[in-house]
Amino acid sequence: MKIELNRQSDQSLINQISSIIAEKIRSGDLIGGSKLPSLRKFSLENQVSFMTVNKAYQLLEKNGYINLKHGKGAFVKRKETNKNMNSGTGNYDWQLNIPDYIQRSQYILNLKPVNSFNFTSAVINPKLLPTLYITKEINQILQNDPQIVSRYSSVQGDEEVRQVVADYLKHYCQLKPKSSEIIITNGVQQGIDIVARTFIGPGDIVITEAPTYTAALDVFRNRGATIISIPVDENGMKTDKLASLCLTKKPKLVYTIPTFQNPTGTVLSKRRREDLLELAKSNGFIIVEDDSWNEIYFDGTLPPPTIKSLDTDGHVIYLKGFSKTLAPGCKVGAIVSNGTIKKRLLTSKSCADLGSPLLTQKALVPFLNSNRMRTHLEKLRIALEIRRNRTISLLENHAPEKVTWLIPKGGLNIWITFPTDKNTEELLSKARYAEEISFLTSSACYPNEAPCNHIRISYSQIDDQMLDQGIIKLCKVMHEFLSDK
Amino acid sequence: MKIELNRQSDQSLINQISSIIAEKIRSGDLIGGSKLPSLRKFSLENQVSFMTVNKAYQLLEKNGYINLKHGKGAFVKRKETNKNMNSGTGNYDWQLNIPDYIQRSQYILNLKPVNSFNFTSAVINPKLLPTLYITKEINQILQNDPQIVSRYSSVQGDEEVRQVVADYLKHYCQLKPKSSEIIITNGVQQGIDIVARTFIGPGDIVITEAPTYTAALDVFRNRGATIISIPVDENGMKTDKLASLCLTKKPKLVYTIPTFQNPTGTVLSKRRREDLLELAKSNGFIIVEDDSWNEIYFDGTLPPPTIKSLDTDGHVIYLKGFSKTLAPGCKVGAIVSNGTIKKRLLTSKSCADLGSPLLTQKALVPFLNSNRMRTHLEKLRIALEIRRNRTISLLENHAPEKVTWLIPKGGLNIWITFPTDKNTEELLSKARYAEEISFLTSSACYPNEAPCNHIRISYSQIDDQMLDQGIIKLCKVMHEFLSDK
């Protein structure tokens, strides 16, 4: 049981260990009757003294979470556990004994971002979205066809909507899907989930970039996948490393965000896109291309063609979302795939929810269909490019010397690197409490052993007038953080 | 490999066998390289002659689906299979070799219901829904708060919406949930799916009623559950049988539709509800109470209290939908649960789609909040009671003598029974082609061995003026069906 300890915290290690384990018991991560690691094992794994662990276990026993049985070890209490552990009037302790099939690494996303300076959420500030156009259009749609609220969508998604999405992908993403190759989803997250529940099971090998999108890791983990990661450099995923890996392992699926990669902002080069596709063909794996940000390129430089546009035999499952760039409140996403892969994904979508709501699908039709979409994307690129430029310039002027970053050529995020002996969890802790600043730490972005010395800041969500102040304050906290022993 | 053959069909058994197996190969159910059953085994299992199977296999080889290897058997072709099997320009044959984790029993729902006399879909005719009120209210909501289209909902669901749903459940379903105990879902189907993905894995024992809701069976099958069914009589699930079962088996979850059960329309008695809850307590299992139709009771007779209302220690996960009775196009559903069960379901909802769209959630707030909801439900009960009465009366006057049915006390469905030697798949086939009538056959409603001599007809979807004609035509087909040798 490896846990995250904060050695700079005011809280003693004993209290930290005890409260982390208590939370695992309350949340059901550790179920009644299960045995905790031995004192020796726990102390080795977490590099704390035997005595510290011993005292933490004693504290847990005192608080009613575990029983220490002499010579046998420490055991999580069963039903008779302390009733104070539950809120509500009923006694729900029996529930702690129900095993489940979920992983909880997303806890880090569940930590609410702070209100003041939110650099955590990779979403676009509502003021940059065409809210009034879309609301007017919804009113018009409902006037013309009120029955939209009284009809179900087909499982695959409304035919008109799929046609409009196909046209959009043709105009903006160099793709030429037929509407029959599109499945409408509740955002990209459901797209990833549907792919995973269809094709991934215990022990299947999934490849991701390192670092990658946290919530995708959760989805693959929940399917019992063995996740192997391939490092990213300035040209995206190092496909030569993937080629070597394929000599000894048999990946079933490669999940990639080739364009303005999350969280690093890097772009997979055209050459590597071709290599990746060749590897897929020769090794028979599926590529999942998460293409959330393609349209948000800067400096007037179009990204390389999507991998899906190079795909001739159905190796690529392409995911697109319209939440971030258009209407988060509608949460419309799409999967493009072919052949039996499409048929099978459709069966899973049916099982998952029998189809997305018709109203939110239809809501986007007029805007996606109009020229305003083109103008909107142009505006969005300009606005976010300005934000990127300001953020980079502020970092150059205020960040400590030892801090480095990648300049993103599109998207919403900047990946910032600290000296390798530093743990950015501590930076986050300081930033939250001293200055009401939040961001994403690198510990959440790796499938296996995670370097802790990076952060991702999103410059897209915060209100315009707060950006400068937020970054300057953040740089101040960075200075304190680096000067700490 | 047991397949469904139609011995009354004009199509020869050879052709039927060949085309069913070809479809399994095209859909990826049978993957490249896999071996078909021996001629002997197949002929025994399906009660057809050795020669028939032999000819069907030869036809499959001729059409490029399989290879017959002398002395070794029949094998599904690998990559080099016939290109005609795929639509589109690319060659997607390699995809046939990707194993997946899905079951396809829902094929029966994927058969489109016919347009003319649709008794298949258990949904309410749009003319009976408050479409114009709701569209007006959506316009008003968007005028007051256009940002609804530009904001994400929280994973659990919008706070205001959860409060309104809590109030609704208090007024109409004898429940008193806190808003914090509610998770908003994309309809009841996603509710079932989220419960299953959280708590059910390979070999876990799930209990359902027999017969039950087809799509729920698919969800549990897809999780690898061992499904055991308990028969239903006029008082719902036979809880004494469940009690006996618990002596030798350890169910993890019991899925029940206690009120106006789907497909039989029966109601679980209060006594049995209490028994079920006692069994859950003493055996430590979860009850999933799918309460889709509670509000649609007839003859002025309220159904017994929901099982959730009797639950004091979090054994019941309660599912409610607002699609059928209010707005299918919004697809809003809710899960009510407590303690760590709720926490864990929330983690799964996060993994599934990070939360339902905000627009469709908010769309229902004014109507659910108003007195119009009460009036609407009253109208719905009257309209559907009239439809039930007419359907029953037509059956009494026109159905063959050997056909029987249960009179539902609420809900949308009537369960009709034919002599046990009859297969209603044949009735469906006749009804579809001769009279453009469709309904659900019982073969889809059982987890294991399915009796084939029942059908479910839904009187709620068809246009009012079509109901009489449809039922009379159906009765005519029944007469022909029963007089067949």
Contact at 8 Å (CB) between A399 and A475?
Answer: yes
Query: With contacts defined as CB-CB under 8 Å, which chain B residues touch A327?
Result: 149-150, 359
Q: Which phi and psi angles does B291 have, rounded to 5°? A: -115, 60
Q: Is B31 exposed, middle or buried (0-12, 13-18, 19+ CB in 10 A)?
A: middle
Per-residue pLDDT reduced to its tens digit, A422-446:
999 899 989 998 889 999 999 889 9
| Number of CB atoms found within 10 A of residue A63's CB | 15
The answer on A391 and A311 residing in a single domain is no
Cα-based torsion angle of the residue sequence A108, A113, A114, A119 in order, rounded to the nearest 10 degrees: 110
User: What is the predicted pLDDT for the residue at A91?
Assistant: 81
Pairwise CB contact (< 8 Å): A131 & B143: no
CB A224 within 8 A of CB A236: no
User: B268-278 pLDDT, tens per residue?
Assistant: 999 999 999 99
Nearest CA in chain B to A359: B329
- B313 CB neighbours in chain A (<8 A) are 90-92, 94
Q: How far apart are the first and last CA of chain A?
A: 27
Q: How far is B356 from chain A (nearest CA, A)?
A: 7
Report how far residue B101's alpha carbon sits from residue A201's, in angstroms, rounded to the nearest whole number. Answer: 7
Burial class (CB in 10 A: 0-12, 13-18, 19+), B47: exposed
End-to-end CA distance of chain B: 27
Tell me the H-state helices in B224-319: 239-248, 270-283, 307-310
Interface of A with B in 106-165 (CB under 8 A): 106, 109-110, 123, 126, 129, 131-132, 134-135, 138-139, 142-143, 146-153, 155
Q: How far apart are CA B334 and CA A402, in angstroms?
A: 50
- Using DSSP's 3-state secondary structure scheme, residue B341 falls into helix
Verify that A276 and A226 share a domain, yes or no. Answer: yes
Radius of gyration (C-alpha) of chain A in whole angstroms: 24
Q: Please indicate, yes or no, if residue A83 is contained in any of the structural domains.
A: yes
Band (A205; pLDDT cuts 50, 70, 90)? very high
* B102 inside 8 A of chain A by CB: yes
For chain B, the average pLDDT equals 91
Pick the last residue of a domain from A348, A370, A392. A370
Cβ neighbours around A127 below 10 Å, total: 11
A252 touches chain B (CB under 8 A): yes
d(CA B225, CA A351): 15
Residues A158 and A304 in one domain: yes
pLDDT tens series, chain B, 485 aa: 878 787 776 678 888 888 788 777 776 678 788 889 988 889 888 888 888 999 999 888 887 889 998 888 899 987 544 444 433 456 888 888 888 888 766 555 545 677 789 999 999 999 999 999 999 999 999 999 999 999 999 999 999 999 999 999 999 998 999 999 999 999 999 999 999 999 999 999 999 999 999 999 999 999 999 999 999 999 999 999 999 999 999 999 999 999 999 999 999 999 999 999 999 999 999 999 999 999 999 999 999 999 999 999 999 999 999 999 999 999 999 999 999 999 999 999 999 999 999 999 999 999 999 999 999 999 999 999 999 999 999 999 999 999 999 999 999 999 999 999 999 989 998 999 888 999 999 988 998 888 999 999 999 999 999 999 999 999 999 999 999 75
Q: How far is B396 from chain A (nearest CA, A)?
A: 32
Residue A25 predicted with pLDDT over 50: yes
- In the listed set A370, A404, A424, which residue is the last one of a domain according to the structure? A370
Give residue A86's pLDDT band: very low, low, confident or very high (50, 70, 90).
very low
Closest to B481 in 3D by CA, of B399, B404, B426:
B426
Residue B299 included in any domain: yes
- Does position A328 have pLDDT exceeding 90, yes or no? yes
Does residue A113 share a domain with residue A209?
no
Residue B59 lies in a domain: yes
Pair (A364, A401) in one structural domain: no
If asked whether residues A342 and A252 sit together in one domain, one would say: yes
What does each C-alpha distance from B315 to A3, A404, B168, B345, B451 come to in angstroms? 31, 52, 22, 14, 32
- Grade residue A27 by pLDDT with cuts at 50, 70 and 90: low
A7 assigned to some structural domain: no
Q: What is the CATH number of the domain that holds A400?
A: 3.90.1150.10
Q: Are A92 and B186 in contact (CB < 8 Å)?
A: no
Cis link prior to B211 (omega < 30° from 0)? yes
Collapsing DSSP to helix, strand or coil, B285 comes out as coil
Q: Is the ipTM of this complex over 0.90?
A: no
Residue A229 in contact with partner chain B when CB distance is under 8 A: no
H runs (alpha helix) in B65-180: 107-110, 131-144, 159-172
Per the CB < 8 Å rule, is A102 touching B348? yes
Based on the domain organization, do B24 and B165 belong to the same domain?
A: no
- Pair (B144, B165) in one structural domain: yes
Which has more confidence, A252 or B435?
A252
CB contact A357 to B (< 8 Å): yes
Count Cβ atoms below 10 Å from residue A366 Cβ, excluding itself: 18
Based on the domain organization, do B157 and B121 belong to the same domain?
no
Domain that holds residue B18: 13-100
Tokens of A285: 């794996």
Mean pLDDT of the region A269-283: 96
Chain mean pLDDT for chain A: 91
B347, B348, B463: which to substitute to probe chain A, counting the most A Cβ within 10 Å? B347
Tell me, what CATH number does B139's domain have? 3.40.640.10
| Cross-chain residue pair B131–A146, CB shorter than 8 Å | yes
pLDDT score, position B111: 59
Helix, strand and coil percent figures for chain A, each rounded to 5:
45, 15, 40
Among A91, A186, A223, select the one facing B186 at the smallest CB separation: A186
Per the structure, the count of domains in chain A is 3
Tell me the CA distances in angstroms from B277 to B217, B254, B306, B313, B445, one per residue in order: 22, 10, 11, 10, 24
Classify residue A6: in a domain, yes or no: no
Q: What is the largest CA-CA distance in chain A?
A: 76
Q: Which residue type occupies B93? A: D
Any chain A CB within 8 A of the CB of B290? no
Partner residue facing A139 (CB), from B102, B139, B178: B139
Same domain, A250 and A379: no
pLDDT score, position B102: 84
Q: Return the residue in B27, B86, B282, B353 with the most chain A beta carbons within 10 A, the one to mutate for interface testing.
A: B353
CB-based contact B357 A186, cutoff 8 Å? yes
Nearest chain B Cα distance for residue A47, angstroms = 30
Tell the residue number behind the tokens 């987890």, with chain if given. Answer: B447
Query: How many CB atoms neighbour CB B434 within 10 A?
Result: 12
B232 belongs to a structural domain: yes
Q: What is the pLDDT of residues A140-191, one digit of tens each?
A: 999 999 999 999 999 999 999 999 999 999 999 989 999 999 999 999 999 9
For residues B363 and A149, the answer to whether their CB atoms sit within 8 Å is yes
In B63-147, beta strands by DSSP E: 66-69, 73-76, 117-118
Task: Please identify among residues 20-39 of chain A the ones whose CB lies closer than 8 Å to any CB of chain B.
Answer: 26-28
Tell me if A5 is assigned to some domain.
Answer: no
Residue type, B124: I
Distance from CA of A252 to the nearest CA of B (A): 8
Helix (H, G, I), strand (E, B) or coil at B181: helix
Q: Is residue A346 part of a domain?
A: yes
Residue A358 and residue A448 in one domain: no
CB contact under 8 A, A92 and B360: no
| Res B24: pLDDT | 77
Of B315, B347, B370, the one marking the end of a domain is B370
Report strand pairing: A205-210 vs A226-233. Answer: parallel
Q: What is the pLDDT of residue B47?
A: 86
Those of residues 401-430 in B touching chain A at CB distance below 8 A are none
Residue A214 at interface with chain B, using a CB cutoff of 8 Å: no
User: Is the pLDDT at A83 greater than 70, yes or no?
Assistant: no
In this structure, the answer to whether residues B51 and B135 fall within a common structural domain is no
Instruction: Report the alpha-carbon distance of residue A135 to residue B146 in Å, rounded.
Output: 6
B41: enclosing H helix or E strand: helix B39-46
Q: What is the CATH number of the domain that holds A90?
A: 1.10.10.10
